[in-house]
């Protein structure tokens, strides 16, 4: 399997690359940024073939060059500006240039170069406040009402992908992700809020006191499971459905997670508060929303999350002990 990952230096892209390379596949990481050297070094030691290509998803010339030269069978579009409230004010044009117009450039490039399959990574942020109204969120029956420019631009991109699938016969599938955390996460400069678990793990390593909102999002999904779900879609023998949810399918207990950190890291403590202005962890993080149903991807692609609370905690702490300094 050969896969081009746009936005490949982000932590979701790195997780997908790790699994493909572990299976002796070929990965081209494409984007304008570089990941920490320790991360790319770890990937380069895997048995597959890794290439890193600088480029901009919104530039037709860059896409044509990499697709003509490298000829990947498949593409995963993980390129995005995950903007917070402040960036919305200063960089609205850039948000839409990457999240929406970059997606359109990529769709057109796939048609020009005959790409076998495109996986477009989406986000649960498309639900906005509507994501709090039901016990779980379904791909088709739950209302998408995005509020942030990030959610609006990503929703427009996913609907555009589905239009290309139906009208241009392009093999493209949108995979909406829950709140992702896990291996290889770092501050990329285009992702304004690091995950709550990573912020907590960093505080635990430093023996700090964490203050977080008891209303923070808890529809977590571990990055290794996200990569596994994407690989299920990439390797499907028939064309996948146009839209899937990819998450753990459940709420996580944030207090229990923190208690595990207290038991593991002497000196770490925490408290949960109602007033976000008091938080030193996740002050601008997304509010709590309902978990996304994963029945469609479970039945259609055979995906099953393997890293729930205990498995994810053990793996994440082990990863952090190696790579967090």
Confidence band for 237, pLDDT divided at 50, 70 and 90: very high
Give the pLDDT confidence score for residue 81 in this predicted structure: 96
Residues composing the chain: 325
**Banded pLDDT at 287 (limits 50, 70, 90):** confident
Cβ count within 10 A of residue 310: 10
Main-chain dihedrals φ then ψ at residue 33, nearest 5 degrees: -110, 170
pLDDT score of 282: 84
What whole-number distance in Å separates Cα of residue 176 and Cα of residue 196? Answer: 19
Average pLDDT over residues 85-113: 97
The CA–CA distances, whole Å, from 66 to 52, 100, 213, 234 equal: 11, 20, 44, 20
Among residues of the chain, what percentage have pLDDT more than 90?
90
Domains and CATH numbers, the chain: 2-186+220-251+290-308 (3.40.50.720)
> Does the reported pTM lie above 0.85?
yes
Which residues contact residue 180 at a Cβ distance below 8 angstroms, ignoring those fewer than 6 apart?
11, 12, 195, 220, 221, 222, 223, 226
198-212 per-position pLDDT tens digit: 999 999 999 999 999
């Amino acid at each position: 399997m050969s896969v081009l990952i746009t936005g490949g230096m982000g932590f979701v892209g790195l997780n997908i690359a790790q699994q493909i390379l572990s299976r002796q596949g070929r990965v081209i990481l494409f984007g304008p940024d570089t990941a920490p050297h320790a991360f790319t070094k770890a990937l380069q030691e895997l048995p597959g073939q890794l290439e890193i290509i600088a480029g901009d998803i919104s530039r037709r010339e860059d896409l044509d060059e990499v697709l003509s030269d490298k000829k990947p069978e498949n593409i995963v579009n993980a390129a995005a500006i995950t903007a917070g409230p402040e960036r919305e004010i200063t960089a609205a044009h850039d948000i839409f240039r990457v999240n929406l117009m970059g997606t359109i450039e990529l769709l057109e490039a796939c048609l020009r170069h005959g790409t076998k399959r495109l996986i477009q990574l989406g986000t649960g942020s498309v639900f906005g406040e509507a994501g709090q109204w039901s016990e779980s969120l379904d791909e088709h029956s739950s209302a998408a009402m995005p509020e942030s420019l990030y959610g609006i631009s990503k929703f427009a991109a996913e609907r555009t992908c589905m239009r290309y699938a139906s009208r241009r016969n392009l093999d493209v599938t949108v995979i909406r992700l829950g709140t992702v955390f896990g291996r290889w996460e770092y501050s990329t400069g285009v992702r304004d809020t690091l995950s709550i678990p990573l912020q907590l793990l960093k505080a635990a390593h430093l023996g700090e006191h964490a203050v977080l909102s008891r209303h923070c999002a808890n529809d977590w999904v571990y990055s290794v499971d996200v990569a596994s779900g994407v690989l299920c879609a990439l390797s499907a023998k028939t064309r996948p459905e146009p839209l899937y949810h990819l998450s753990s399918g459940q709420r996580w207990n944030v207090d229990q997670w923190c208690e595990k950190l207290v038991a593991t890291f002497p000196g770490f403590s925490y408290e949960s508060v109602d007033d976000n202005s008091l938080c030193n962890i996740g002050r601008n993080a997304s509010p709590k929303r309902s978990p996304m149903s994963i029945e469609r991807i479970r039945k259609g692609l055979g995906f099953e999350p393997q890293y729930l609370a205990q498995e994810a905690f053990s793996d994440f702490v082990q990863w952090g002990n190696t790579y967090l300094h």
